Copies of this chain bind each other. A is one copy, B any other.
Amino acid sequence: MSITAFTRSVSDVAAESGVAPSAVRFYEQHGVITAIRTQGDQRRFDDSAACRIRVAKVAQRVGLTVREIAEIFAALPADPQPDDWGRVATTLIDEAESRTAALKAYLTDMRGGGRLCEIEV
């Protein structure tokens, strides 16, 4: 087992993930990432923090909210392994495809009837 190192500061994670420090604090507040605190009350993150944020940004683009993303990431242990990420990836992709499928189904039904838009919702 590897020892999880909580060595990254807010600005470290911000630089690694490409978002502003304020966003790093925001994502921590909302459970997308987690931190331990130093004696002086400063946040320290592990390697996975920047990763989680980068994945979160892409997931937001397919319509997932920060809350939904945090819920999905709740399945990730500290120091996540490939299998852990794999399960999360599957969940995210399934959700994205499900939403796209709903869009396609709606548009297809709309055309299918020739009624353009009188379909039942």
- Report B-chain residues with C-beta under 8 Å of the C-beta of A108: 89
A61 to B117, Cβ gap below 8 A?
Answer: no
Interface bits A85-121 vs B (CB < 8 Å: 1, else 0): 1100100110011011011101110110010110001
Pairwise interchain contact B106-A96, C-beta atoms closer than 8 A = no
Chain B nearest CB, measured from A80 CB (Å): 7
Least Cβ–Cβ distance between A3 and chain B, in angstroms: 16
The interface residues of chain A, by DSSP majority, are classed as helix
Contact of A80 among B55, B85, B116, B121 (CB under 8 A): B116
CB distance from A12 to the nearest CB of B (A): 14
A81 partner residues in chain B, CB cutoff 8 A: 116
CB-CB nearest in chain B for A59: B103
Asked if residues B97 and A100 are in contact (CB atoms below 8 Å), the reply is: yes
Could you show 6 A-B contacts with beta carbons less than 8 Å apart?
A54-B117, A55-B107, A62-B103, A82-B116, A85-B111, A86-B111
